[in-house]
Structure formats: structure tokens, C-alpha cells
Copies of this chain bind each other. A is one copy, B any other.
């Protein structure tokens, strides 16, 4: 089971991430036995990457300064050969985000893009009305566009939503389940991207490792919803479930 494998290996995941969800993301990684580190200063990101097992780049509250850190960290991760994950938060909301994502995709080799449908549309240049960092509204052929992006950037693409879609450009899979309440607390997508970073470290079959991660995350949402009603308790229970499943597995 993927979370148990992560707990066994205890990978260090360097996250250049946003300040809205940094705490939740750190606790979520710790819950499954991974180690988070969140350095974003230009003068140290390369050195921090050099001791990490995976790098997550999340543009949720990016600025001119951290944009440069992301670029430098990504390039260093490529020379190290460790997995690099892109979470293009709100990529379609502003030109600054869209350009940054394009620049990152041009300069850094990513192993995984983990996005929502609005962010996919932005990367695929499909007309779309993104609602801030939420997915928003529009019309897009998810499977076709995600596959195209996966082929173009030679990476895995995960588009999360009511059903998650995962593709490496050749094989693809839809994953159902979960609960919509996951979209009603901040940072569940960001945390999933971080966990995917940890998941990419444990094994030699990235597609299966990530598909397992998605299924596990759906299960966690269902479990959390079964034992809670409102989102205060729900967010805490998501952390509990990550902790529990990574220790005990699903029973």
C-alpha cells in the first residue's frame, strides 16, 4: 500500500509552496512519515534540493522572488534526477501565473503535473473561466488535452475533480470515489501534489504508484466524511486518516 511504502522510506520532500496551505501540507506529509522542508530563498534552494528526495513546485502565492527560486530549484532537481512535481495553482487566473507555468515547463523537466480542470485548460490554451484558484467553468475534453500535455512534456498528468484522471500519454485511468467536501477545505489539492511527490520516490512504476495514491486519497475523503459532518472536523480527520492508513493500511 502506497502510504505504508512512503512511511517506510521517509522521503524528504522539498516544497516551494504557498503560505496559505504550508502548515496543512507539512502536517500531511508528516502524517504519512515523510519529511517536509519549505525553503524558498534563492540562495539556498539548490542546496536544499540536493538533500531532498523530491521537489514540489506550487505557485499558489508566487511572486517575482519565489518564481526565480522555483526555476533554480527545478533545474537543480533535474541534474539530481529526483522527481519534480508541478502544482500550477490558479494557472488560468492571471497572465503572470500562466507565463510562469509556461516558463517553468520550458525550463524544467517535470515528472508530474497535478492540476484541476481550470489549470489544465490554462496549460492547454483552451478557453476557460477560472475562478481564482478554483476550477471554474468551461468546456474541455479532459482526456484528450491531458494526454496531449503528457506527451508534450513527457510527464504524467493528473487532473483531479469529481473523478480524477491520470495519464502518462499512453496509458490512462479515471478514478472515481472520494467526496466533494475535499474541495471545501483549503489545501487538499496542494497536499495531494506533495504526497504524489513522496509517492514517486517509492518504486519503479510511477503510473501505478500515482494511481494508487489517487485511489487512497479518494478513500481518505470517504472515510473522513463518514466520521465527520462539518469542515472543521473534516480537515483534522483527513490528517488522522493519512496517519492511520500509512501505519495500518486499509482494513
A residues lining the B interface (CB < 8 Å):
12, 14, 18-24, 26-27, 30-31, 35-44, 47-48, 51-52, 60-65, 90, 93-97, 130-134, 184-187, 229-233, 235-241, 243-244
Contact = CB atoms under 8 A, between A and B. Distances in A.
B238 A23 contact: no
Contacts of A24: 23
A47 B232 contact: no
A239 B230 contact: yes
Given A52-B132, A186-B27, A41 B22 contact: no
Given A19-B19, A38-B60, A231-B239, 12 more contacts: A21-B23, A27-B186, A35-B131, A35-B132, A35-B133, A39-B90, A42-B64, A230-B239, A232-B236, A232-B240, A232-B243, A233-B236
B96 A43 contact: yes
A51 B240 contact: no
A94 B47 contact: yes
Nearest to A52: B132
A37 B30 CA distance: 26
18 contacts: A12-B131, A18-B38, A19-B19, A19-B22, A20-B26, A20-B38, A23-B24, A26-B186, A31-B184, A31-B231, A39-B94, A41-B96, A44-B94, A44-B95, A48-B132, A51-B130, A184-B243, A232-B240
A47 B93 contact: yes
A165 B231 CA distance: 30
A96 B47 contact: yes
B240 A230 contact: yes
Contact of A185 (B27, B38, B39, B51): B27
